[in-house]
Amino acid sequence: MVIENKQLPKHVAIIMDGNRRWAKKRHLPSVFGHKKGYEVFKKVGDWCLDRSIKYLTVYAFSTENWQRSKKEVSYLFQLLQFALEKEIDDLNKKGVRFQVAGRINELPAKLQTAIKKAIDLTKHNAKAVFTLAVNYGGRAEITDAVSSLLEKYPRMKKITEKILGEFLYNPANPDPDLIIRTSGEQRLSGFLLWQSAYSELYFTPKLWPDFLEKDLDAALEEYANRKRRYGK
């Protein structure tokens, strides 16, 4: 399938849902689903680069995911740390800048260290930007933005969208053009609540570990066929 560049989204965001259900269907522990999901995630990054999609944001761990078992949460953090340490040199060689969105200071110290090293290593790259949303919640982001704004401007009487937007986790990122959610669920679950005001939403029944290149192209084709009016 060929899509003209002008019809491709500049920023794709993905809610990678269905790892645990994928494992359950196969009578496996949930960690196997997360491991398989990680393998798919690596491929998706390359697929987006191949299609000249400059911004990719993925939802890896929400502020609500702390409610899962300690064993699963611990494994997820270990997997994220492993992924960063293993993949960051490759990302750097490809010219991808890595950044995060979320309350990073609440994460395990070793994971925080890996995140900071990855950010520092890739901070001058400009070919593409990959954002990992970890310990992230849309309401938390807006709350943190308001708190940071009021801390800097305690006497401010009028807060505009533009000013508040400057205090979001990654204010330089454009709003996502397309948000993809796998597993058949049709909700945002707190993902990029501020930024998604006019995003196109695409839902697929595919569980994340089963997501293929043709599934990404199906989402991109659907996006290309939509008309974005922004309320006009």
Active site (catalytic) residues: 17, 65
Environment class of 20 (CB within 10 Å of its CB; exposed 0-12, middle 13-18, buried 19+): buried
Q: How far apart are CA 196 and CA 180, in angstroms?
A: 12
Return the exposure string of 115-141: e unless at least 16 CB atoms fall within 10 Å of the residue's CB, then b. Answer: beebbeebeebeebbbbbbbbbbbebb
Q: Which of 208, 213, 217 is nearest to 15 (CA)?
A: 208
Most distant CA pair in the chain: distance in Å? 57
d(CA 27, CA 24): 5
